[in-house]
Amino acid sequence: MTIFAKRQLINRNTIGEDLTAGLVLGIQSVPDGLANGLLAMVNPVYGLYGYMTGIFGGAFFTSSVFMSIQATGAMALIIASVPQVTEAPEPNTALFALAILTGLIMLGAGLLKLGSLVRFVPHSVMIGFVNAVAVLIVLGQLDDFTGYESVGANRVTRTIDLWRNMEQVHLPTLLVGILTIILILTLEKTSLKALGMVVAMIFASLVVPLLGADAVALVRDIATIPGSLPRPVLPPLAVFPGLIIPALSLAFVGLVQGASITQSVPNPDGNYPDASGDFVGQGAANLISGMLQGMPVAGSLSATSLVTSAGARSRLANISAGVVIALAILLFGRLVGLIAMPVLAGLLIVVGFRALKLDQAGMVAKTGAVQLVVMLLTFISALFIPLQYAVLIGVGFAVLLYVFHQSNRITVRAWELGPGLYPVECAPPASVPAKKVTILAPYGSLFFAAAPVFRKQLPEVTETSRHAAVILVLRGKKAVGSTFLKVITHYADELARQESMLMLSGVDPNIQEQLERTGMVRHIGRSNVFLMTEVVGQALHEAIEAAETWIAAQPPDAPSS
């Protein structure tokens, strides 16, 4: 029996499993939250606050029972490219405003039931983006990992600068970073599992004072870690307008990442969550995070997988994880400042390599040239320009390529009624034959870019095309564009000048309404428009019968002199 069954808040029979899963996620989230704050180039404690408020607050509002809401690596990199945030003084009110604005956009998307729109995001765009984020996570940690402060316009150029100055690498810092990676990969294979990451970071940080490596940077050297919970903060309204584009990008990326959880992690009852409901939950979590000095957050697939694999059975798991993080801040906040910077860098490098989706990139590359080009363009642009614009470029380019691809897929075939009245497909004639019925069936989309291609495939109307009827089969077409209507209107006029006519069969009521509303029906004639019925082929046979009757009634052509 559950309490608050509608939200499945607590299951009395699984309280032990939920508390254990929350303890695992909460402990693992402390170093992870600090690392994502560092990745976003803000005070690491804001990442920790974001994890605490996101996991705890989101658990009450999402449609998904198990979705863990945290600051993700992709979102952290977008934040790092927003100068209003990275150059702001403490407290970072621009960061808090960005979280609130992102939350409002997510909340609005959820309330407007826009969850289904994520399916329009091309898979090739997301794979290119995710792999670029993974590479940027790794490259962005090389300074803290090596102790060398590189220079350059972006992470790629700074990596090249590091490569050229390898002699300036601080050896103790590098050794601590390498030790961290080795310990994480080793201890995770033991009975510690996910907690091995925490133990590895503690041990590697303890090595620093034991070796007397005083020059190795610590978290406290770059940020003050308070031993108290955050107080509510309301950012000034003046900072919000300049953060609209970054907030839109964060909301877009966060919602897509959250949708991957919605589509892959079912609720305890076996049903999959509602995407729009999860949008609402992520929006609420961001509002709470922003007002309590946290960075923007979203559904995290890795954290959700961790809490479910640790035994989560209800929302209590994520609620207790947020409480564990709060207790860690209160009881061990001062000790967090003793974590070595190359330790956090080593953790993020591991995270970055694990985020690479090389197998999926290979699948996209094998799918087709269009998908490959979209993926590569998104990947390359994300490496060199701010991520909020790289995502928009990838989506925009995907749309343009799709339009180009679809516009060249339109095909016009002629139908001839063979024995048994079954239509036989063949190539359309070069010109409209006189005193005959020509049946044409277009395949593909008839939107504006395809209309010129469609017109080129229509038979030409010549001086010999007299007393002919051309029937255009439109069954299955729900709507057409104004460019297409213009093309068939001109074609009908060309036929009329040769005392021939154009007929439309299988016309959907929506297209009929378009013809009436635009006045195009007077060029074709209402009697030449045959509406679609439930009986397949009925409208076509009615059009053929009317066309043959009309041709038979035409006077014979005058003999040539």
Whole-prediction pTM:
0.71
Dump the DSSP string for 530-547.
Answer: EE--SSTTHHHHHHHHHH
Q: Which positions of the chain have pLDDT values less than 50?
A: 1-5, 560-561
Predicted pLDDT of residue 439: 95
- 411-551: CATH number: 3.30.750.24
Whole-number pLDDT of residue 421? 63
| Structure-derived torsion over alpha carbons of residues 57, 61, 62, 64, reported in degrees to the nearest 10 | 100
According to the model, what pLDDT value does residue 452 have?
A: 79
pLDDT tens figures, 451-482: 778 888 999 999 999 999 999 999 988 878 77
Residues 376/209, Cβ–Cβ less than 8 Å? no
The region, left, alpha or beta by phi > 0 then psi within -120 to 50, assigned to residue 221 is alpha
What torsion, rounded to 10 degrees, do the Cα atoms 124, 129, 134, 138 define?
Answer: 140
Q: What are phi and psi of 131, to 5 degrees?
A: -70, -35
pLDDT in the model for residue 114: 84
Residue 132: its pLDDT value, please?
Answer: 87
Residue 414: which H helix or E strand, with range? strand 411-417
Smallest CA-to-CA distance from 69 within 258, 198, 293 is with 258
Q: What is the pLDDT of residue 2?
A: 38
CATH 3.30.750.24 maps onto the chain at: 411-551
| Dist CA 18 CA 12 (whole Å) | 10
pLDDT of 406 reads: 60
